[in-house]
Amino acid sequence: MKYTNFKLVRMVSVLLSAALLVSVAGADEIHGYTYGSKALRTSPVTLEQLEGIKKSLLFTQEDEKYLKLSKSVLEPQVEAVLDVWYGFVGSNDHLVYYFSDSKTQKPNADYLAKVRKRFGKWILDTAEANYDQNWLNYQYEIALRHHSTKKNKTDGVKSVPIIHFRHLVALTYPVTATLKPFLEKVGHSREEVEKMHQAWIKSVLLQTILWSYPYVKQGEF
């Protein structure tokens, strides 16, 4: 009898731990974040072409090293960085327009919040500087999500159908300029901060170039 009780208690505790693990894993899941998913389309840009763009940008192994260094600096500050970036988009009607609800013309708070979570992951992914085929495929996915091919689909929203190309590249400047004070916060030398910053500028430019793909006439990218 005692043994049966013991078995029952153990079973319940195993089930409770499993439920806890599932809920923790669930809490971690970010809606629409599909980096590494086998279901992603293969990027039309090859790894070889990627190397070519890096060379054109003077992007070297040193930039990879300084991006990786920036990860520990930015990780505890992700929400504060997002506050600044979202503050910038939110205070510009012509930008927040791309998050607006088609019916009410007002910003869709739920859409903004869901994209913000993926944006937070993107900061850390950018700092990881892992330029393999999975990364390239997710770059293509992000490109399609800004373009009319897939905008609004991930979050099932009714909003404007495309982010116009002119703003995509323009945002490289505010995104990287506003990052510098965060890179300065943890006590790295001025030289290290400058190198992390330069690496970030190149990496964001690299990505907006890759995101341009669906906007460029076939064969002309």
Which residues lie near ligand HEM (CB under 6 A)?
32-33, 89, 95, 98-99, 115, 118-119, 122, 142, 145-146, 151-152, 154-155, 163, 167-168, 171-172, 175, 204, 208
Query: What are the residue ranges of helices labelled H in the chain?
Result: 2-28, 47-56, 61-74, 78-90, 93-96, 109-128, 133-146, 165-170, 172-177, 180-183, 190-211
Alpha-carbon span 183 to 74, nearest angstrom: 7
Coil, helix or strand at residue 95 = helix
Q: How far is the CB of 203 from ligand HEM (least distance, A)?
A: 10
Q: What does residue 100 show for φ and ψ, rounded to 5 degrees? A: -80, 155
What is the three-class DSSP state of 198?
helix
- How far is Cα 169 from Cα 205, in angstroms, rounded to an integer? 7
| Rounded least distance, CB 24 to ligand HEM, Å | 22
Nearer to ligand HEM by Cβ, of 48 and 93: the residue is 93
- The three-class DSSP label of residue 139 is helix
Toward ligand HEM, which CB reaches closer, 18 or 70?
70
Residue closer to ligand HEM (CB basis): 152 or 178? 152
- Nearest distance from C-beta of residue 98 to ligand HEM, angstroms: 4
CA distance 183 to 70: 7
Q: How far is the CB of 62 from ligand HEM (least distance, A)?
A: 22
The nearest distance, CB 134 to ligand HEM, in angstroms, is 13
What are the Cα distances from residue 61, in Å, to 12, 68, 125, 137, 171?
A: 52, 11, 17, 21, 25
The residue (of 17 and 149) whose beta carbon lies closer to ligand HEM is 149
Nearer to ligand HEM, 136 or 175 (CB): 175
Closer by beta carbon to ligand HEM, 6 or else 87: 87
Residue 44 has what DSSP assignment?
S
Q: How far is CA 53 from the centre of its chain?
A: 20
CB of 168 to ligand HEM, least distance (A): 5
